[in-house]
A and B are shown apart, each in its own frame.
Chain A
Amino acid sequence: MASIFERIALVFRSKANKALDKYEDPRETLDYSYQKQLELLQNVRRGVADVATSRKRVELQAAKLNQEVQRFQSAAQRALESNREDLAREALTRKAGLQVQLDELQTQHAQLQGEEEKLVRASSRLQAKVDAFRTRKETIKATYSAAEAQTRINEAFTGISEEMSDVGLAIQRAEDKTLQLQARASAVDELLASGALEDPTGMVKDDITRELDSLAADSQIENELAAMKAQLTGGPAARPELAASPAEPAQQSQQVSPAEQPAVDQSRQEGYQG
């Protein structure tokens, strides 16, 4: 395996040398190299745009996953309120699974952001060097004969070729990372599509939510039944278990002057009045 050190030193030079051999006047090689530099600059800019696109995609997915995590959290809360520890445990287990995915996405997001910043800086550095090369190229063409130009050309090349190899490798690394990210993004998309996560339209509910909803419906029916029974037996005060329990001071004052209380708790007030 070639080391990075060897690659950076050799990759560009060997390519450039092959291409340069076909020119008789060494000064023409300057224009050729300058063209290559502009192409690389274009590639760097495309690389920056690709990384930014991937980063935004990760952000969207993370937001979606985060919503799911929150949803399971509140499902667990609801389940516990309904005395369904089994459902609460299931919801928290799924939440933990999603949290792992979310954490990985966030790590990846941070890496991509770092990559993007590095590429942006590399791009402006390369731009400055390409501009410097152009100035030097014009000076060489204007000042030296073909015979004299070679040494100056070599000097100009060695400076820029190293920068180009470095930037070239940076782009390659950014592309590799972007590919890895796309693979992960597709996996998360599949997970979303398989129904393991909530459908974005909100039409499809998972089993936990369905069970909680049916529990809520059941308890509403129980409440209504209790309220009807209370009405039939002459109000809540008549029920022995309520009369026996010590009333809290707040409830006392509510009972004393219901008219002063805003209608915050409709069902409770209905109970008192009935």
Chain B
Amino acid sequence: MIVRIMGQGQWVLEPEHLMDLNELDRELEERVAAEDEEGMRAALQRLIDGVKAVGVVVPDDVLAESDLILPDMDVTLDEMQALLDSTSEYYGLIPDADDDLHELDPESQH
């Protein structure tokens, strides 16, 4: 699947990477629920670093639609809350790997 980090570009992730990222995603959700903006940003930074660490960057000259969009570090607590609400079926920014693996895919295979 392709993940866009706003303002920074796109990365291709393998479905198994989602398992690792879900832990970071869960921390992020907790920080948002606790209305801890600083903690939320730190958690988002770890999630972004995680995506960059395991993902493969999409070359600049490739036109591809993303499956997921992560906000950049400027995001406010309110915006993040709205973002999480809009993706509530995922329980976080990153889809839960175990239930969604089969649905995600057709597009990410090529």
Contacts and interface: CB of A to CB of B under 8 A. Distances in A.
Interface of A: 1-6, 8-9, 118, 121-122, 124-125, 128-129, 131-133, 136, 156, 158-160, 162-163, 166, 169-170, 173
Contacts of B79: 1, 3-4
5 contacts: A3-B85, A4-B79, A132-B61, A169-B6, A170-B6
Nearest to A173: B74
A5 B75 CA distance: 11
Given A160-B63, A162-B4, A125 B69 contact: no
Contacts of B9: 121, 125
Interface string B31-68: 00000000000000000000000000001111111100
Interface of B: 4, 6-9, 59-66, 69, 71, 74-75, 78-79, 82-83, 85-87
Contacts of B74: 173
B108 to A, nearest CB: 14
B44 to A, nearest CB: 12
Given A3-B83, A162-B4, A131 B65 contact: no
A132 B62 contact: yes
Task: Classify the interface of chain A: helix, strand, loop or mixed.
Answer: helix
B85 A156 contact: no
Contacts of A121: 8-9
A166 B4 contact: yes
Nearest to A176: B74
A203 to B, nearest CB: 44
B88 to A, nearest CB: 11
